Amino acid sequence: MHRLLGRRPRAGTALTVSLPAVDEVLRRSGASPDGLAAAVTALTGPITDRAAHTSALETAWRRAFAPLAAIIESRPPLADWYERLHATGLVRRLAGTPESAEPMLADLATVIAELPAPGEPLGTFAARTVRDAHGLDDGRPLTTLALGAARALAGLPDAASRETWAAVGVLRDDVSSTVLTLGFPGDPHTATGRALAAFHAAGQPVVLTLRQLVRDPPRLVAQPISICENPVVVTTAADRLGPACTPLVCTNGQPGAAVMLLLRTLADTGADLRHHGDFDWGGIRIANVLFDRLPVRPWRFDTATYRNAATRTGATLTGTPATASWDQNLTPAMTELGTKIEEELVLEDLITDLG
């Protein structure tokens, strides 16, 4: 530095350099006739005004978010979701730049403005709102954001995508997701209700599609509802009890979108939901979904019931243990006894209750 400025630096822990002095030396020496700024630009590239750049970037992001912010003002249930969206920086990670985010957030605002939809297929809804029938397919950044908003609107923070879309009236493959039922009285006001009434009178099970539950739902009233895991409970109840069977819903394994929509609708009416499943690790995981997300109580599905049944029958329990969220003693008891009790083994007790 003393060679450049013509004087030695003073002793100390900090070094202060006069930029005007450096500029003067560079000009006078001919090393950079245009001065310090030109020299730095030549050596390192254009100089950026960081403060101005940051300000311009934030202005661009505010402009990108403007259509979404306007929608949120009229949708109070989305306020917390919108705050989290900003706090997590999800949009910035998905879009990268405000220029990329601007059309995506405009489309997102359009999607939110049309929710809930009237039971519309996902492809049709996407074509209508974002001009692309595949614009809301899984894996797309817009879909990630739209599902977050839909979960917030439906109050389903952990729901799968199909269940989430169904909860806001958008149907993804609306006929393959079904729910097996028995004993629902039906009603004369909808086609689905009339079909339920006819099958109830005949004592026959009914398979309802997600489409029927969203586009032509039966009128449901608050009443006790039993939930089982395996179809054999439904068929046995139909054989033994017929029209006398009280309402029964079968998850048929892990509950899908149609099952969850029906149970949530029943819960909203004030129905008393009770669940029974297999005493194995798969059955515990299935039940955890129901107990964690719906106001469900156990139906012969607790530690005392398991210990009693395990003394009479059952196969060897295998697989990876799961913790029963509704009964802290059930998992230790199952681990201790090592016995699997499937619903087929306790049918008599279940049928007695259903009658």
Query: 107 and 135 in contact (C-beta within 8 Å)?
Result: yes
pLDDT at residue 3 above 60? no
Q: Provide the Cα torsion 118, 122, 124, 128; round to 10°.
A: 80
pLDDT at residue 297 above 70? yes
Q: What is the mean pLDDT of the chain?
A: 90
Distance of alpha carbon 253 from the chain centroid: 20
* Rama region for 274: left / alpha / beta (φ>0; ψ in -120 to 50; rest): beta
Residue 3: enclosing H or E segment and its boundaries? Answer: helix 2-5
Most confident listed range (23-37, 55-69, 317-331):
317-331
Q: Each residue of 196-252: pLDDT tens digit?
A: 999 999 999 999 999 999 999 999 989 999 999 999 999 999 999 999 999 999 999
Task: Dig out the tokens for 332 from the structure.
Answer: 């230790």
Q: How do the domains of the chain map onto residue ranges?
A: 2-8+17-44, 50-171, 178-354
Lowest mean pLDDT among 64-73, 181-190, 292-301, 312-321: 312-321
Q: Return the pLDDT at 10.
A: 62
- The predicted model scores a pTM of 0.75
54 — pLDDT class (breaks 50, 70, 90): confident
C-alpha 146/C-alpha 201 separation (Å) is 43
C-alpha 201/C-alpha 188 separation (Å) is 13
Sequence-separated (6 or more) residues with CB below 8 Å from residue 321: 281, 331, 334, 335
DSSP string covering 166-182, please? HHTTEESSTTT-EEEEE
Average pLDDT for 347-354: 96
Which is higher by pLDDT, 297 or 49?
297
pLDDT at residue 7 above 70? no
Q: Return the pLDDT at 15.
A: 64
Q: Report the largest interatomic distance among the alpha carbons of the chain, rounded to a whole angstrom.
A: 107
Residue 209 phi/psi, 5-degree rounding, is: -90, 160
Average pLDDT for 298-302: 98
Which is higher by pLDDT, 9 or 18?
18
C-alpha 314/C-alpha 18 separation (Å) is 88
Which is higher by pLDDT, 57 or 299?
299
Lowest mean pLDDT among 45-59, 199-213, 226-240, 276-290: 45-59
3-state secondary structure 33-68: CCCHHHHHHHHHCCCCCHHHHHHHHHHHHHHHHHHH
Shortest CA distance to 266 belongs to which of 255, 253, 277, 279?
255
C-alpha 138/C-alpha 130 separation (Å) is 15
Sequence-separated (6 or more) residues with CB below 8 Å from residue 131: none
pLDDT at residue 350 above 90? yes
Q: Return the pLDDT at 5.
A: 54
51 — pLDDT class (breaks 50, 70, 90): confident
61 — pLDDT class (breaks 50, 70, 90): very high
- Which CATH architecture describes the domain 178-354? 3-Layer(aba) Sandwich (3.40)
Cis upstream peptide for 224 (omega within 30°): no
Q: Return the pLDDT at 36.
A: 72
